[in-house]
Chains A and B, each alone.
Chain A
Amino acid sequence: DAKTTQPPSMDCAEGRAANLPCNHSTISGNEYVYWYRQIHSQGPQYIIHGLKNNETNEMASLIITEDRKSSTLILPHATLRDTAVYYCIVRVSTGTASKLTFGTGTRLQVTL
């Protein structure tokens, strides 16, 4: 699985959009970009994933650059409950996917 790089921490005011970047310059053509978040003392929670098109669901939007070497997770209206560590990973989505490796993630602090 390709390696990802994320900033260690970010702050965001409540109600504003939180834009969380991720670099994955060695991503392969069959690897998807996945985002998870981990609220303190809980297991990580799946947020969204995509291959090359931008994706949106009820939690967030995922913007992937045309060359697929980076992506941005957007929380359109951050709330205090969005304070968490956000992990970006890349891996294949089909077949016998094996390793599932997380980086150090971005600690997002949402403030009043």
Chain B
Amino acid sequence: SQTIHQWPATLVQPVGSPLSLECTVEGTSNPNLYWYRQAAGRGLQLLFYSVGIGQISSEVPQNLSASRPQDRQFILSSKKLLLSDSGFYLCAWAEQGEAFFGQGTRLTVV
């Protein structure tokens, strides 16, 4: 069966520090992969999606970047975090339309 791993579950980082969130998928190949951010009390904002290795589409101009170095690995990064980067980050994969989500990373930038 397919599973999706996302870590860490919570993270507190100072302003100006770098960020690396990793997401890996098991049990499937060539999935569509997604990164979302959810601010407190808000909906899911699509940040990046990828249809294959090295293929990244950015939805919103921002302080973040994404990479897909392997078929089942999707990484969200920042060189210097801002206070506004705080939020709940979710990774997802989709195949044949249905999407499966990780448990999320709650990032607090202080």
Residues of A within 8 A of B (CB): 32, 34, 36, 38, 41-46, 49, 85, 87, 91-94, 96-105
**B98 partner residues in chain A, CB cutoff 8 A:** 34, 46, 49, 93
Least CB distance, B40 to chain A, in whole angstroms: 10
Main SS class of interface, A: loop
**A96 partner residues in chain B, CB cutoff 8 A:** 32, 51
Residues of B within 8 A of A (CB): 32, 34, 36, 42-44, 46, 49, 51, 57, 59, 88, 90, 92, 94, 96-104, 106
Inter-chain contact total with CB atoms closer than 8 Å: 68
Least CB distance, A69 to chain B, in whole angstroms: 20
**B34 partner residues in chain A, CB cutoff 8 A:** 100
What separation, in Å, do the CA atoms of A101 and B92 have in the docked complex? 12
What separation, in Å, do the CA atoms of A44 and B90 have in the docked complex? 9
Selected from B32, B43, B100, the residue in CB contact (under 8 A) with A98 is B32
**B51 partner residues in chain A, CB cutoff 8 A:** 96, 98
* Inter-subunit contact A44/B101 (CB<8 Å): yes
Selected from A34, A41, A87, A94, the residue in CB contact (under 8 A) with B44 is A87
What separation, in Å, do the CA atoms of A102 and B46 have in the docked complex? 8
Selected from A41, A91, A99, A103, the residue in CB contact (under 8 A) with B104 is A41
